[in-house]
Chain A
Amino acid sequence: MPLVAATPRLTARDLTLSYDRRTVAEGLDVEIPDHSFTVVIGPNACGKSTLLRALARVLRPTRGTVLLDGADLARLPARRVARTLGLLPQSSVAPDGITVADLVARGRHPHQGLLRQWSHEDERITEESMAATGVAELADRPVDELSGGQRQRVWIAMALAQQTPLLLLDEPTTYLDISHQIEVLDLCDRLHRTQGRTLVAVLHDLNQAARYATHLIVMRDGRVVAAGDPGEILTAELVEEVYRLPCRIIPDPETGTPLVVPAAPKRN
């Protein structure tokens, strides 16, 4: 058995994660299968965003290690990590008056240097990223004039311009209405399928998670409760255990993936 080949590029061993002295997660073991669209779900404050931040090297684990290609992530130089692993955080700040093209171009930062500020490749990839996210025609518009959905696509374009084989997205659909949510998820799905990138996203909506994920990680109270193919692991028992929500699971009429239908309260 070739063990090395079987180990995915991004894994975490025995992670303890905390903010100041408050421990958020303990003893986490996580594997992100290569070329998967992995979705992390769980109730509020279960540590899913914290896990994502640790996987992205933004938060240093208090114990345990995140391994990228077998090396300890914390010991790798920031710039090298940034060429392999991208993150779309929950909150980013668009500087006043910056245009879409300028913001997307900033994703090229880890590939640039003092005398290599804007190569032909930078230009091509920035344009491709804008085209892939459908914001090319907005290129000269200021970001603060855009709608929420457009803005989120611009941030995704910036993360794409970073050209990392691994891309982590922290609640990319929050604050968006349902059509923009689907738009963003379809975009992620397309990126995953056509460009072969490994995507990891934190999502809130179980049904969207089940529909789009090729690999699902379910968390509760800072622990991974279940991980695997959504069709296999997403059961009524699991949802009740994790969310304390009685429900039924039926096949999604569109895709056949699990659809969670919460039980209705008994009326007198």
Chain B
Amino acid sequence: MTDLARTRTLRTPGGLSVRYRPRTVLAVTACLFTAAAVAVATLGSGDYPLTPGEVLSALTGGGDPAADFVVNELRLPRVVTALLTGAALALSGAVLQALVRNPLGSPDILGLTQGATTGALLVVATGGSSLALAGGAVAGGTAAGALIRALARRGGTGGHRLVLVGIGVAAVLGGVNGYLLTRIQLMEAARALLWLTGSLDGRGWDDALPLLAVLAVLLPVVLLACGPGLRMLELGDDTALALGVPIERIRPALLACAVLLASVAAAAAGPVSFVALTAPQLARRLTRAPGPNLLASTAMGAALLAAADLAAQHAFGQRQLPVGVVTGVLGGGYLVWLLAAERRAGRL
């Protein structure tokens, strides 16, 4: 046990060295494996059921044309969107929680998701296309992020201040969103409501590819360029500065990455709640490592949202639920538990 938690080092003769923790590697692998297994199960379930073997051969280009169509054309875009949305939300949450040094730092509590919703609703109200809706969500989330940053700026951007300002912004935007809903015509209201609960229904490659592009750029930026500094930020601003971390550059960069990830995720799947909040905490419980656990959180988020979408599609008989309902119920329960646990530990 302790042995797995001990950090190991790989060294090359040239003096290069990389550190890793076997327990963290195991946790990431387990999450990725679960995500893959859930994805295969999802691809195989529905009105045209397939065995995992049939799914795999369809994915690798074999199999009969019918299976190929069902798997690769009908079901794969939705599953990929689920995996990527979960990963993006979880990474955003892990970064925010480390930045504010508080498990409540997550896009749905800091108002970023609400901002994305405002943007999306404005587009719906004016009858825009789905592409415009996604753009509206990204713009709204980014604007909310900029607003929070500007409001929290005075007296430093650390910790509780950002959380409190974020909760305030979330409340105001929640009100704005309610107002927008009352002003929307009946036809648009149905579309708006479906988006609002966070749904992966009918997601195509148009939704998955922008997410993939953003993740492909931001994951390395966050992990490699900012990750080591973020680990030092955990020790407090003064200590991080004394250790040579350029906080004044790295903090806004990380905040921007988190905002962008959350906004793009919302654009693809609607405001799916609580994944960003829970995934980093669950990942930390698996790895038992201090630090932001960025990679483990990302993998955990992908597995969580894929599993939630599988449950949303098939756990309730014929009735399909939007995935946001499932994550909301599970995540809401988790939040109550978290608050109780923090209270018992005397941190709240």
Contact = CB atoms under 8 A, between A and B. Distances in A.
Contacts of B290: 95-98, 102
A58 B238 contact: yes
A112 to B, nearest CB: 8
Nearest to A80: B244
A20 B156 CA distance: 10
A89 B15 contact: no
B252 to A, nearest CB: 15
Interface string A139-151: 0100000000000
A244 B132 CA distance: 70
A110 B291 contact: no
A106 B19 CA distance: 13
B44 to A, nearest CB: 40
B235 A110 contact: no
A118 B17 contact: yes
B232 interface: yes
A153 interface: no
A1 interface: no
Nearest to B247: A78
A195 interface: no
Main secondary structure of the interface of A (DSSP, over half): loop
Contacts of A82: 242-244
A92 B235 contact: yes
A93 interface: yes
Interface residues of B, number: 32
Chain A: interface size category: 35 or more
A226 to B, nearest CB: 28
B242 A117 contact: no
Nearest to A56: B242
Contacts of A4: none
B242 A58 contact: yes
A87 interface: yes
Contacts of B7: 102, 118
- For A90, A116, A118, A119, the residue with the greatest tally of chain B CB atoms inside 10 Å of its CB is A118
Nearest to A109: B243
A89 B155 CA distance: 18
- For B241, B242, B243, B245, the residue with the greatest tally of chain A CB atoms inside 10 Å of its CB is B242
B245 A78 contact: yes
Contacts of B288: 97
6 contacts: A58-B237, A87-B239, A89-B238, A93-B235, A93-B236, A110-B243
Interface of B: 2, 7, 9, 11, 15-19, 101, 154-155, 224, 228, 231-232, 234-239, 241-246, 288-291
Interface of A: 20, 53, 56-58, 78-83, 85-98, 102, 106-107, 109-110, 112, 114-120, 123, 140, 159, 162
Given A93-B101, A95-B234, A118-B17, 14 more contacts: A53-B238, A56-B242, A82-B243, A89-B236, A95-B235, A95-B290, A106-B232, A109-B228, A109-B243, A109-B244, A109-B245, A114-B228, A118-B9, A140-B2
